[in-house]
A and B are shown apart, each in its own frame.
Chain A
Amino acid sequence: NAGVMQNPRHLVRRRGQEARLRCSPMKGHSHVYWYRQLPEEGLKFMVYLQKENIIDESGMPKERFSAEFPKEGPSILRIQQVVRGDSAAYFCASSADRATREKLFFGSGTQLSVL
């Protein structure tokens, strides 16, 4: 499967725990984007990364949230001390290039539920 891979598919955490969401981009893609989607809401941009670099994190809350895309391995979105409001679907997308016309392809998402 050469598509964008996300895991886990579902993640349940209690308030105060940490959540780690993983994303492996499509083969040949080096640009990763994280989006969050709440029920009846559109996709909200969180962060854009290239290998070892955060390009744009303007949509990511300053506290408790962090993201990385190491030289080896998947991109990780980390949420510390989760709260009920963090419950959402988190989608990762990848692209081959940063060009304006570049298309994004999405993974199947991680549904985070905070109890």
Chain B
Amino acid sequence: QKEVEQNSGPLSVPEGAIASLNCTYSDRGSQSFFWYRQYSGKSPELIMFIYSNGDKEDGRFTAQLNRASQYISLLIRDSKLSDSATYLCAVKAPPGNTPLVFGKGTRLSVIA
């Protein structure tokens, strides 16, 4: 059974610091990896995706993929109060009709 594991948190970081969110997955054949942000009572919003081993940067966000360790992370630099949300890691394995599998999410709290 395909599983995606995340630490539920809450993870508390001071404003301006770096937040580091982690995720592991069980299916070694997984090929696509996504990070979604979900504010309380709202829908998940796609913020990052990564397909290749290594780092991918987009503004204050960096996604990291380590296939050998089956590990994904999301770094948020210069954390802002508005970054406080639950971050969901999602993994997709081939074939194309396999559903996206989500972790339970990590709650991030950025404190002033």
User: By the criterion CB–CB under 8 Å, are A42 and B103 in contact?
Assistant: yes
Return the CB mask of B8-23 against A: 1 if under 8 Å, else 0: 1000000000000000
Chain B interface helix/strand/loop/mixed: loop
**Taking CB as reference atom, which chain B residue is nearest A4?**
B43
A residues near B (Cβ < 8 Å) are 33, 35, 40-45, 48, 55-56, 59, 91, 93, 97-109
Cα(A55)–Cα(B31), bound, Å: 20
- For the complex formed, measure the closest distance between the CB of A86 and the CB atoms of chain B, giving whole angstroms: 19
A100 touching B95, Cβ below 8 Å = yes
B99 contact from A45, A106, A107, Cβ within 8 A:
A45
In angstroms, how far is the closest chain B Cβ from the Cβ of A92? Answer: 9
> With contacts A104-B46, A107-B43 known, is A59 near B99, CB below 8 A?
yes
Contact B99 A101 (CB under 8 A): no
- Asked if B31 contacts A101 (CB within 8 A), the reply is yes
- Residue contacts A-B, CB under 8 angstroms, 6 given: A40-B104, A48-B99, A101-B32, A106-B43, A106-B44, A109-B43
User: Looking at the complex, which one of A43, A99, A107 makes contact with B96 (CB distance below 8 Å)?
Assistant: A99
A56, B97: Cβ atoms under 8 Å? yes
CA distance A35 to B101 in the complex (A): 10
Is the CB–CB distance between B97 and A42 below 8 Å? no
Is there an interface contact between B99 and A100, defined as CB atoms closer than 8 Å? no
**Identity of the chain B residue whose Cβ is nearest the Cβ of A31 in the assembled complex:** B97
Which residues from chain B contact A100 at a C-beta distance below 8 Å?
31-32, 92-96, 98
| B81 within 8 Å of A (CB atoms) | no
Query: How long is the Cα–Cα vector from A33 to B101 in the complex, in angstroms?
Result: 12
